[in-house]
Amino acid sequence: MSTQNNRNLETDFLGKTIFITGAGQGQGRAAAIGFAKHSANVVGFDLGQKISYPAYNRSSSKHLETLQQEIEAFGGHFIGITGDVRNYDHIQRAVSVGVEKFGTINILFNNAGISAYGYAHELTEEQWDTMIDINLKGAFLAAKAIIPILIQNKSGVIINNSSVAGLRGMNRLSHYAASKWGLIGLTKSWAIELAPYNIRSLSIHPTGVNTAMNDGLAELEGTTALKIAERSAGNLLATPWIETEDVVNALLFLASDKARYITGSQFVLDAGLLTV
């Protein structure tokens, strides 16, 4: 077991490199820390600046800087690159930097995403396009840049961060649900296309996760995340939401050889929400 800075690292992903979109905050940040603690090299890709929609977005380049400091403090390996998942040139540049730094990429976690409320007939085209372009097109572009590397390696894992909204309809979230359903189509299609190269493709479907996005959506509604969770009252287990560590635990399993024959599947972390 490798040690640095007097702290032990697990060795599950020693010699492996993961590319994470939306790495600056929330689930992406937690995934970066989790995989780094298991000896993976981490390439973190994040917008690093505010966008006009949704209004709660407070992305900053400082998020990647502090993430790098946190990971390096326990001896992990990380490089952060700012860019827009809607821009293929940005993604290609980040992938090139990651490969130059760590040699290759073995795992892709398509995590970058936004959410916002709005009735379908009241959404503007710009709001629809922004949701689809970040949540769905961004995943396609990241995979387009990385799949050739995985094919060359004759192995790899792609994990798309969908949602329970990718498995059901959602009131005032039709554009969000459409983007998350779309990720299932990508997941299953990639599983078919890439199986000959020993590349697996999966999607995860969390219920609400305790992140800044939860708080931001509540802020736009003039309430709190807890009140929204209580109002929806969908989880069977006694929790208003799951934690980022729950998502990371699932990712560490699905990306590992312990899940070597799992592909094309939807992994649900919903505290029972979809049961009824």
Q: What tokens appear for 199 in the block?
A: 């590349």
Identified catalytic residue from 88, 176, 197, 261: 176
- If you average pLDDT over every residue of the chain, what do you get? 93
Q: Which residues pair with 263 in a beta bridge?
A: none
Integer Cα distance of 8 and 2 in angstroms: 6
Q: What tokens appear for 145 in the block?
A: 């840049």
Percent of the chain at pLDDT exceeding 70: 96
Using left for φ > 0, alpha for ψ between -120 and 50, and beta otherwise, residue 98 falls in: alpha
Whether residue 248 is contained in a domain is answered as yes
Q: What tokens appear for 24 in the block?
A: 């600056």
Domain count along the chain? 1
| Amino acid letter for position 175 | H
What would the pLDDT profile of 83-128 be if each residue is shown by its tens digit? 999 999 999 999 999 999 999 999 999 999 999 999 999 999 999 9
CATH of the domain at 184: 3.40.50.720
The mean pLDDT of 41-52, rounded to a whole number, is 95
Closest CA to 67 of 54, 82, 79, 59: 79
Our answer to whether residue 176 is catalytic in this structure is: yes
Q: What are phi and psi of 218, to 5 degrees?
A: -65, -40
The mean pLDDT of 259-266, rounded to a whole number, is 98
Whether residue 33 is contained in a domain is answered as yes
| Amino acid letter for position 158 | I
Whether residue 217 is contained in a domain is answered as no
Integer Cα distance of 41 and 153 in angstroms: 16
Radius of gyration of the chain (CA): 18
What would the pLDDT profile of 177-211 be if each residue is shown by its tens digit? 999 999 999 999 999 999 999 999 999 999 999 98
Whether residue 234 is contained in a domain is answered as no
What would the pLDDT profile of 134-169 be if each residue is shown by its tens digit? 999 999 999 999 999 999 999 999 999 999 999 999
Strand 107-110 versus strand 266-269 pairing type: unpaired
- Domain of 43, in residue numbers: 3-211+243-269
Whether residue 274 is contained in a domain is answered as no
Integer Cα distance of 197 and 242 in angstroms: 34
